[in-house]
Amino acid sequence: MPFYVTTPIYYVNAEPHLGHAYSTIAADVLARHRRQRGEDVFFLTGTDEHGEPVAQAAERQGLTPQQLVDQNAPRFREMGERIGASNDFFIRTTDPEHVARVQEVVQRVHDNGHVYEGTYEGWYCPRCADFKTESELGEGNTCAIHEIRLEREREQNWFFRLSAFEDELKRLYAERPDFVAPSFRRNEALSFIEGGLQDVSLSRAKLSWGVPLPWQREQVVYVWFDALLNYYTALSYAREEEDLTDRFWPASWHVIGKDILKFHCVYWPAFLLAAGLEPPERLYVHGYLLMGEKKMSKSLGNVLDPNEVVERFGSDALRFYCFREVSFGQDGNVSAAGFETRYETELANDWGNLASRTLAMIERYRGGVVPDGEVDPVLGEGEDALAGIDGVVRELLDRAELSQALEAIWARVRRLNRYVEETKPWELAKDAAQSDRLDRVLYNLAEGVRTLALVLHPYIPETSGRLLDALSEGNRELDAFGARAGGAHVERIPPLFPKLEAR
Ligand code: ME8
């Protein structure tokens, strides 16, 4: 089963921040989970390197645009590595292979009769790279997202006949009710389409930093079409020896933020249809991470640096926090204090302690060998039953419900902690007559921790990997989920999430 997941490609004229890390981690969790299911996964991320803000930033710094992007793109690549992203390729829209492929597709759209020459007049936000309609304007002709005054642009350029795709898009949305998730975002996209579509510029005449339009090389392809096409072009050159397009297109999931919904949920499927290509299977539109009411963004200057967070708390803590603190899909506040609280209460106490206690008790009471035992019926009952958690996680992650799946896992972490308190293995150990009971409790704890570490692996791969190694579980696949007999050797390891004061 092929599974192809993407993140937005990020603008390189700003520093990477937690908002970017968020989308990348979300897509990474999905990619890792599908690999655990034995699927054929391709995970793509990268950088969006053309457009006006890049050209302007380069000029301010006395660099050529190419020098600027060469200087900045590695920061995004490094951010990915630091947060544990397992992407299979990193695309840069200045890659010559991407440029050539964009020209091919744009030419096809032209040859299919969906392009014409016209005059654009209206408001343009260079930061969004978006031609704003009157209804999208903020007060005083400002960009509602970036809070900057907009320029009125007038230029002769080429248009894409978006309006001609209105009916086809409506049909697509009707036939595929889960094309866009969550459903309130689907409704937002659909009402945009139902409100009537206007044609959009396909090229820019005033800019030179971009992909030259094949039939009029003085103009460049409008940066959004250049950027969107990355999802398609990457497959053709990500592997030297193989064109992956047939294997992975259409994409299974595009993970994006709500700021770029219109481009992805409206322009993108229309443009693909115009080129005779299949639209993606699904799009997941997540909300904003906010710091005190405002969207975290470099231009607003209110960013939480993911590098600092990783340095202090570790990449797994950051990955975990993102989907616990804010319900995936919604907007939500993040803060340094919030990190610390989640870290202490959930990672260090709930999970780290459970793992350490389990390993320590097996070592102390059973010489480091998991005893033989049977599944304790109390752990198989109720809403937080341990048995079947893999099925629950699969079902939720099929819908990219990252927070709900993590909450389902956490309910089991809490259940196992209660089990320790209820059974009190340290007291059972004092009484030789309770030896079988102690075997059973330790077996259930070892099994519980092992299976939870497996379903947690996509979220917190580094510490889950260490824990699974300590439990002599070499497998990381969900096939390993089924019950394992006793007999495995376990070893104690340093705390997975050391207390903050001890770090
Ligand atoms: O829009 N909260 O790039 P970009 C959550 N190059 N997610 C956030 C966020 C926040 N505060 N800030 C950013 C672009 N993001 C285009 C995309 S794709 C073909 C081209 C995430 O650098 C979120 O995914 O402005 C958002 O959609 C994306 O970064 C925008 O990144």
The C-alpha atoms of residue 3 and residue 347 are separated, in whole angstroms, by 30
Q: State in Å: Cα 256 to ligand 1 middle.
A: 7
* DSSP assigned state of 149: B
| Cis, peptide link before residue 182, omega less than 30° from 0 | yes
Whole-number Cα distances in Å, 334 to 49, 68, 473, 497: 28, 31, 35, 20
Residue 53 in contact with ligand 1 by CB distance below 6 A: no
Say if ligand 1 is within 6 A of residue 476 CB.
no
pTM of the model: 0.95
Lowest pLDDT segment from 126-135, 185-194, 237-246, 418-427: 126-135
- 190 pLDDT band, cuts 50/70/90, is very high
Tell whether the model's pLDDT for residue 343 goes beyond 80: yes
pLDDT bin (cut points 50, 70, 90) of residue 171 is: very high
- The reply to whether ligand 1 has any atom less than 6 angstroms from the CB of 227 is yes
Specify whether 20 is catalytic.
yes
Does residue 110 have an active-site annotation?
A: no
Establish whether residue 296 lines the binding site of ligand 1, counting it when its CB lies within 6 angstroms of any ligand atom: yes
Task: Answer yes or no: 295 catalytic.
Answer: yes
The Å distance, Cα 91 to ligand 1 centre, comes to: 16
- pLDDT, tens digit, 9 for 90 and up, residues 440-475: 999 999 999 999 999 999 999 999 999 999 999 999
> Which pLDDT score is estimated for 295?
62
Digit-coded pLDDT (tens) for 301-333: 555 678 888 888 899 999 999 999 999 999 999
Evaluate whether 396 touches 409 at the Cβ level (below 8 Å).
Answer: no
* pLDDT greater than 80 at residue 240: yes
Asked whether 306 lines ligand 1 (CB < 6 A), one says no
For 422, the token pair is 């209820």
Residue nearest to atom 10 of ligand 1 (CA): 19
Whole-number pLDDT of residue 452: 97
* C-alpha–C-alpha distance, residues 487 and 489, integer Å: 6
Average pLDDT over residues 23-52: 97
Instruction: Report pLDDT digits (tens) over 477-492.
Output: 988 777 889 999 999 9
Cα(249) to centroid(ligand 1), Å:
23
pLDDT beyond 90 at 15: no
- pLDDT per position as a tens digit, 243-285: 999 999 999 999 999 999 999 999 999 999 999 999 999 999 9
Contacts of 25 (CB under 8 A, 6+ apart): 83, 84, 85, 318, 319, 322, 323
Which of 6, 30, 47, 48 best tests ligand 1's pocket when mutated (most atoms within 8 Å of CB)?
Answer: 48
In angstroms, the CA 346 to CA 326 distance is 15
Q: Which residues contact 53 (CB under 8 A, 6 or more apart)?
A: 11, 13, 126, 127, 129
Q: Ligand 1 in contact with 268 (CB < 6 A)? A: no
Residue 502's pLDDT is what?
59
Ligand 1 atom with the smallest distance to the CA of 23 is 24
Q: Which of 50, 98, 146, 254 is labelled catalytic?
A: 146
| DSSP annotation string for 306-360 | HHHHHHHH-HHHHHHHHHHHS-BTB-EE--HHHHHHHIIIIIIIIIIIHHHHHHH
Cβ of 231 closer than 6 Å to ligand 1, yes or no, is: no
Are the C-beta atoms of residues 36 and 270 closer than 8 Å to each other? no
- 160: which strand partners? 115, 200
Torsion of Cα atoms, 73 then 76 then 77 then 79, to 10°: 150
- 124 pLDDT tier (thresholds 50, 70, 90): confident
Asked if residue 94 has its Cβ within 6 Å of ligand 1, the reply is no
* Alpha-carbon 461 to chain mean position: 15
The residue to mutate among 9, 10, 30, having the most atoms of ligand 1 within 8 angstroms of its beta carbon, is 10
Probe target for ligand 1 pocket from 259, 288, 295, 323, with the most ligand atoms within 8 Å of CB: 259
Q: Distance of CA 153 to CAs 125, 206, 216, Å?
A: 10, 10, 20
Looking at residues 175-202, what average pLDDT do you find? 97
What average pLDDT does the chain have? 94
Q: Among the options 33, 143, 254, 322, which is catalytic?
A: 143
Q: What is the pLDDT of residue 303?
A: 55
Catalytic (active site) residue 298: yes
Q: If 0-12 CB within 10 Å is exposed, 13-18 middle and 19+ buried, where does residue 392 land?
A: middle
Cα–ligand 1 centroid distance for 230 (angstroms): 15
20 lines ligand 1 (CB under 6 A): yes
Residues in the chain: 503
Q: In this structure, how many other beta carbons lie within 10 angstroms of the beta carbon of residue 240?
A: 5
Distances (CA, A) of 132 to 119, 129, 138, 200, 460: 15, 9, 10, 10, 40
Q: Contact at 8 Å (CB) between 114 and 160?
A: yes
Q: How far apart are CA 37 and CA 43, in angstroms?
A: 15
Measure the CA–CA gap between 383 and 395, rounded to whole angstroms: 15
Give the distance (Å) from ligand 1 centre to CA of residue 40. Answer: 27
Ligand 1 contacts CB of residue 259 (under 6 A): yes
Find out whether the beta carbon of 23 lies less than 6 Å from any atom of ligand 1: yes
Q: Is the CB of 225 under 6 A from ligand 1?
A: no
Q: Which residue has the tokens 């086809």?
A: 168
Percent of the chain whose predicted confidence (pLDDT) is above 70: 97
Averaged over 234-250, what is the pLDDT? 97
In this prediction, residue 10 carries a pLDDT of 97
Percent of the chain with pLDDT over 90: 81
Closest residue by Cα to atom 8, ligand 1, is 19
Best residue for ligand 1 mutational test, from 13, 20, 79, 294 (most atoms within 8 Å of Cβ): 20
pLDDT digits (tens, 9 = 90+) for 59-98: 999 999 999 999 999 999 999 999 999 999 999 999 999 9
pLDDT band for 144, please (50, 70, 90 cuts). confident
For the ranges 267-276, 304-313, 402-411, 414-423, the lowest mean pLDDT is seen at 304-313
